[in-house]
């Protein structure tokens, strides 16, 4: 008998883990569900800076969906002000980090993908249709 597909992932605030200099919870992918991207809920605490890094694999792109608070998102050498409702794209190969220097915790959801994750998704979907 097939297991039902999980439809809802409720947030468990006690499960946030400190990594990359922020508190977060990886929410995607889900077991049993193939998606072309990963995702996480992230909180950069007031007055702190997330870990500057370049995504791996080298072709991985990323998007931040700003949920609450304000911060400076640094991509390469440029600083971008970010606030609730903003969407920020991080191109592959660009160093980036978040600086919560503007007086409050900064909450955002991040999605990341690469040619590999998209290719795996398309391949699995093609085999499912056969």
Give per-residue pLDDT as tens, 99-112: 999 889 999 999 99
20: closest CA among 40, 34, 35?
A: 40
Domain ranges of the chain: 17-128
Q: Specify the CATH number of the domain 17-128.
A: 2.60.120.10
**Highest mean pLDDT out of 6-15, 17-26, 118-127:** 17-26
> Between residues 69 and 125, which one has the greater pLDDT?
69
Distance between CA atoms of residues 89 and 113, nearest Å? 12
pTM of the predicted model over 0.85: yes
Decide the pairing of beta strands 78-83 and 87-90: unpaired
Give per-residue pLDDT as tens, 33-69: 778 999 999 999 999 999 999 999 999 999 999 999 9
């Amino acid at each position: 008998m097939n297991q039902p597909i999980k439809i809802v992932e409720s947030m468990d605030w006690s499960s946030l883990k400190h990594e990359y200099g922020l508190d977060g919870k990886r929410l995607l992918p889900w077991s049993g569900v193939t998606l072309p991207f990963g995702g996480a809920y992230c909180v950069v605490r007031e007055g702190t800076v997330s870990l500057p890094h370049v995504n791996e694999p080298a072709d991985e792109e990323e998007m931040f969906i700003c949920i609450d608070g304000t911060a400076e998102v640094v991509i390469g050498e440029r600083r971008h002000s970010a606030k609730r409702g903003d969407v920020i794209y991080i191109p592959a190969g660009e160093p980036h980090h978040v600086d919560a220097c503007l007086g409050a915790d900064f909450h955002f959801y991040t999605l990341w993908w690469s040619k590999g994750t998209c290719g795996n998704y398309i391949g699995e979907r093609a085999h499912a249709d056969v």
